[in-house]
Amino acid sequence: MIEFKNITKKFKNKKVLNNISLSIKKGEMVVLIGPSGCGKTTTLKMINKLIKPSEGKILIHGKDILKENTIKLRRNIGYVIQQTGLMPHLTIGENIGLIPYLEKWPYKKIKSKVSELLNMINLDSNIYKDRFPKELSGGQQQRIGVARAFATNPEIILMDEPFSALDPITRNQLQDELFELQQKMKKTIVFVTHDMDEALKLADRICIMKDGKIVQYDTPENILKNPAHGFVEEFIGKDRIWNQPEFIKAKDIMIENPLKVSYNKTIIQGIQIMRKNKIDHLLLIDKSNNFKGICSFKNLQLEDNKFIKLKDIMNENIITIDENTCILDILEFVKKYNTSYIPVLNKTNTIIGLITKSSLLSILSTQFLDEEVAK
């Protein structure tokens, strides 16, 4: 939807942006982040022509924005800034309805839209529409700024560090509200921040910038797991993924390609396999490689007839997960079902990995020791 093609921006003799190319899909939230002076705010302001490129093109729906009417372009792009930008002499209702008024919307339509937007941000229209900005808290003012950006139902919303001046509790609350709002509205949002936690919490994709260049542009999960550059790893913080456990999936911590045995084997064969491989459980499969159940060494020893087949005594009531199950859910399953083995299956019911209680403890204890050493 939004494309930056070989964009360079020079202020006097200094390159603020150095030949960047960037594509933003419709309906996604992209967060621009990096140290001060990296070019993130300049990039944002180019989308609504507050700053024009020295070289290259910016396209919205395939159209070069430099050839578009600037006023029309800006009125169709919502813009939220750190200082809210509310007009102090206008009421809250007038602030929200300003652009619709300039677009010559009918009075009743504006009034209805103001009420709708105030309700959307959980502020009672009857209480707040006739108040002035100075009568509101910082968090309430920023909510009004967000509501105003949505007033004409624009496809694109630009947000330039909108929550950075707020206290941590209010900031966290507004981040949650924005996330929920985006899940419903699916706007194309470009969001500038210097806070990596905020970026990880909100973004569909994160664009990390340094010295006017894009260092990595990827999903939060991939950036945490596979930082593309030494700077990225340093910027996001070593082992930060452990602060975002929802991104740690079964595929990241599972024992890959665990031993699998046909459920048509006999008990005596199963015991021999266990002793040879020094394991105390067998993952059982059928001839199509589908997972069928688990047998424990203890259960095999208790059987008198060692020549019956494993499928006749196996435990079929086994909790399984897929590779994208997060570590928080895995820990909950281990606790809830008091299980020591959780097979990881793909969509065709084939075993691709195994989570054990001991492997989980090993991973978690290693992380704890790494943190203690770092201290």
SS (H, E, C) 328-359: HHHHHHHHHHCCCEEEEECCCCEEEEEEEHHH
The number of folded domains in the chain is 2
Give pLDDT, residue 370.
52
- pLDDT digits 0-9 by tens, 135-165: 998 889 988 988 889 888 899 999 999 888 7
Average pLDDT, integer, range 50-75: 94
Q: Does residue 222 sit in the same domain as residue 316? A: no
Give the residue with greater pLDDT, 303 vs 368: 303
Q: Does residue 242 sit in the same domain as residue 289? A: no
Q: Would the pLDDT of 236 be above 90?
A: no
Which range is most confident: 72-76, 262-266, 366-370? Answer: 262-266
Q: Does residue 174 sit in the same domain as residue 270? A: no
Q: Which of 18, 30, 56 is nearest to 217 (CA)?
A: 30
Mean pLDDT of the chain: 89
Q: Are 239 and 375 in contact (CB under 8 A)?
A: no
Give pLDDT, residue 284.
96
Give pLDDT, residue 308.
93
Residue at which a domain ends, from 192, 212, 246: 246
Average pLDDT, integer, range 289-295: 94
Q: How far apart are the first and last CA of the chain?
A: 45
Give pLDDT, residue 241.
66
Q: Does residue 174 sit in the same domain as residue 260? A: no
Q: Does residue 53 sit in the same domain as residue 183? A: yes
Q: Would the pLDDT of 175 be above 60?
A: yes
Average pLDDT, integer, range 313-326: 92
Average pLDDT, integer, range 310-330: 92
Q: Does residue 275 sit in the same domain as residue 174? A: no
Give pLDDT, residue 45.
95
Q: Which domain, by its residues, includes 331?
A: 251-364
CATH number of domain containing 257: 3.10.580.10
Give pLDDT, residue 374.
46
Task: Report phi then psi at 31, rounded to 5.
Answer: -105, 125
Give pLDDT, residue 50.
94
Q: How many CB atoms lie within 10 A of CB 26?
A: 12
User: CA of 9: how far to CAs of 32, 41, 172, 305, in Å?
Assistant: 17, 12, 34, 80
Kindly state whether residue 371 falls inside one of the protein's structural domains: no
Q: Does residue 200 sit in the same domain as residue 283? A: no
Q: Does residue 133 sit in the same domain as residue 270? A: no
Q: Does residue 242 sit in the same domain as residue 291? A: no
Q: Does residue 125 sit in the same domain as residue 55? A: yes
Q: Would the pLDDT of 294 be above 70?
A: yes
Give the residue with greater pLDDT, 306 vs 354: 354
- Comparing 18-27, 124-133, 349-358, 360-369, the range with the smallest average pLDDT is 360-369
Helix (H) or strand (E) holding 47: helix 40-47
pLDDT band at 57 (very low <50, low <70, confident <90, very high): very high
Q: Would the pLDDT of 40 be above 90?
A: yes
Q: Are 26 and 188 in contact (CB under 8 A)?
A: yes
Q: Does residue 129 sit in the same domain as residue 260? A: no
Kindly state whether residue 374 falls inside one of the protein's structural domains: no
pLDDT band at 373 (very low <50, low <70, confident <90, very high): very low
Give pLDDT, residue 252.
86
Q: Are 373 and 356 in contact (CB under 8 A)?
A: no
For the packed helices 327-337 and 357-374, what is the interaxial angle rounded to 10 degrees? 130
Q: Would the pLDDT of 91 be above 90?
A: yes
Q: Does residue 232 sit in the same domain as residue 287? A: no
